[in-house]
Amino acid sequence: MRQLLHFLVLYVAAYGALTGQVLFKPDPIIVPNAGQWPDEVLAMANLDAARVWVLADGLRFAARLPGESDSVVVWTERYVGAQGGTLDLNPSSHPVTYVLGRGAAATVHGASQAWVRNIYPGVDLELRIEAGRLKTWWHGDAQANLRIQFEGCEARRVPRAPEVLELETPAGSARMDAATAYDAQGREVNVQWQRTPEGWILHAPGAQRIDPTYVFSSFSGSVSDNFGYTATYDLQGRTWLGGVAFGTQYPTSNGVQANFGGGGVDIALMLFNPTGTGVVSATYLGGSAQEQPHSLRVAPNGDLVLMGVSNSLNFPTTTTAYDTSLASQPGGGSLGGGGVVFQSPTDVVLVRLNPTGSALQASTYYGRFGYDGLQDVSTPHYGDEARGDVWVDSGGIWIATQTSPRASSP
């Protein structure tokens, strides 16, 4: 399934000896070129999801290919007819030293803001890093000269959203939002992307300032194939993601199950902090056969409640569970589950984790012989087999799902 780029990635930090730690990386900055890169590069911004090279006549992006640790895809945003700008940066970060070889080194200071002056006569490009995103501002009264060509990717305007340009690359998709533009008096001007024979333009009559923002979507950091089914949030503003992982190389930390259970596919969960800059926990959840999450909900006390399906005889349950054993049935054939083909009948599973995902509070099977929790449909839309929902409040937990004609729920 196509994976997308995003500003949410895994961060590297030390594990605490006794308590789980949120994994972080340093804030991204714009680093000037002091001889550590080729001459055409003015600066580099190491964003969470991509590395951006600032050129005199454009921006060059590099992002890792999904599932590959050492392969990248590169695309360039080229400003047609540009005369070539110069970098203007006020260093404010900690020093960064690059060893150049033969005893030489370059020590530079970066910043969260920089300018490329006079890319076109009288037109400057301002670059800012805000919340892990690259935000650009075009300044000047000759912005009608701006033409953009994209090399190494396909650009298209999003239907019903002419201010959004979507870029399709082998590594996934990125988006350029041209959110606002202003004239010389500070009044807002309507802006939209338009395609011309010379390239894409930002059509904003009378504008002297336009602010495109680059938005990337997410890698889970998994080497094993994985994709998502459900997500939710809690009252702290943190985000839970629920999906599946097809193998042993899903990155786990601070969770209830560090290792892959087997059977080809396990549930995979991740909890991100409120800003999306750290992973609070990441865990497998599954037994020796197959699992799939259908719905997530956060309880009033912050616990995560999950509803899904499993055909594992050893799915992790708690001792006080309603049912600690799978209603196994010989034969039964196989049934597609929207990305997962279950080779034997399933039960619904209902799981409750603590607010950080580090402890299993409750877990139970629920079902009888057959394919409980799956919709047995002959011509579904993608994922229809995995439809289902869970709701939780102070009064209890409700689930809504379906059994196939081959199932008999209690």
pLDDT digits (tens, 9 = 90+) for 358-396: 999 999 999 877 778 777 666 566 667 777 889 999 889
**Residue 324, Ramachandran bin (φ over 0: left; ψ between -120 and 50: alpha; else beta):** alpha
- pLDDT tens for residues 167-182? 887 766 677 766 566 6
The answer on pLDDT for 277 being more than 80 is no
Rounded Cα gap, residues 297 and 352, in angstroms: 10
Rounded Cα gap, residues 223 and 251, in angstroms: 8
The tally of CA atoms less than 13 A away on the side-chain side of residue 399 is 24
- pLDDT tens for residues 136-150? 888 877 667 788 888
- pLDDT tens for residues 68-104? 445 677 889 899 888 888 999 988 878 888 888 777 8
Question: To which residue do tokens 């800012």 refer?
Answer: 128
Greatest extent of the chain over all pairs of C-alpha atoms, in Å: 76
Spatial contact of 389 and 296, defined as CB atoms under 8 Å apart: no
DSSP three-state, residue 358: coil
Spatial contact of 178 and 136, defined as CB atoms under 8 Å apart: no
Give, in degrees to the nearest 5, the angle at Cα 263 between 331 and 233.
115
DSSP three-state, residue 22: coil
Rounded Cα gap, residues 123 and 121, in angstroms: 6
| pLDDT-derived band at 117, boundaries 50, 70, 90 | very high
DSSP three-state, residue 368: coil
Long-range pairs of 136-139 with CB within 8 A, sequence gap ≥ 24 = 136/211, 136/212, 136/213, 136/214, 137/209, 137/210, 137/211, 138/202, 138/209, 138/210, 138/211, 138/212, 139/208, 139/209
The answer on pLDDT for 12 being more than 80 is no
Two tokens at 238? 């943190």
Rg value, the chain, Cα: 25
> Cβ contacts of residue 297 below 8 Å, gap of 6+?
232, 304, 305, 390, 391, 392
The answer on pLDDT for 327 being more than 60 is yes
> Cβ contacts of residue 121 below 8 Å, gap of 6+?
83, 142, 145
Domain boundaries in the chain? 30-216, 226-400
Give, in degrees to the nearest 5, the angle at Cα 259 between 24 and 382.
85
Long-range pairs of 359-362 with CB within 8 A, sequence gap ≥ 24 = 359/256, 360/256, 360/316, 360/318, 361/303, 361/318, 362/318, 362/320, 362/321
DSSP three-state, residue 159: coil
Rounded Cα gap, residues 182 and 211, in angstroms: 9
- pLDDT in the model for residue 251: 83
- pLDDT in the model for residue 334: 62
- pLDDT in the model for residue 70: 55
Spatial contact of 331 and 313, defined as CB atoms under 8 Å apart: no
Q: Which of 66-75, 194-203, 206-215, 379-388 has the highest mean pLDDT?
A: 194-203
- pLDDT tens for residues 245-262? 888 878 888 899 999 898
